[in-house]
Amino acid sequence: MRERRTAQETRRAREFEAFVAGAGGRLLHAATLLTAESPADNPRARRLLTRSLARTYACWDRLRGEDPYDRAREQLATRFAHDAWHEYARRLYDALPLDRLLPPGRVPGLRRGPAPRSPGPRPAAGGALARLTPQERLVLVLRLYEGVAEEQAAALLGLPADRVRTLCDRATTTLLRPPRAQAPAAPRAKAAAS
């Protein structure tokens, strides 16, 4: 019995390793696009991919004919959306003037301070995808890079199909129309000599 279980676990590990060897690069690229990091320096994308693959491996035996790539992509999208929501909530909390809203000591356990686990630094402002909101980035990557149908993306994200279409259109427009460069400062007129 023990040998049989060991053989099953070994087979499972080999199948998963083969899957990651084949799909890992594409999933890492998708994660890098989602986090809007540089492909050469993408720690948030690697962390996101690792967590998504760990979840995929946890349910590997229950896939039963389901495409493991679809499951891994789903995990990647939901993990990214979850992380983006928590980062937004943390920023919102940090921006609240709690010291003026609540007298000190009135709410036990409520302490102002750094978040327990930061998702990492924000993406560099230089990348084109960094100009998009996380939700726009997620929809754009799913629709254009991954080729997920509008209805499937809507079901995955829990949004109406019209909202997914709007987000994709807005993101595409933002990317195709770069921000205007500021006009150069006008040269100052020399003071007239008296």
pLDDT, one tens digit per residue, over 82-104 is 988 888 788 877 777 766 666 55
Cβ contacts of 47 within 8 Å, gap of 6 or more: 120
**pTM of the predicted protein model:** 0.73
**28 & 87 share domain:** yes
**9 & 87 share domain:** yes
Kindly report, residue by residue over 128-161, the tens digit of the pLDDT.
Answer: 888 999 999 999 999 999 999 999 999 999 999 9
In a domain, 150, yes or no: yes
Locate 92 and state its tokens.
């919102």
In a domain, 119, yes or no: no
CATH number at 144 reads 1.10.10.10
In a domain, 109, yes or no: no
Per the structure, the count of domains in the chain is 2
In a domain, 106, yes or no: no
**70 & 161 share domain:** no
Q: What is the residue range of 33's domain?
A: 1-98
**90 & 159 share domain:** no
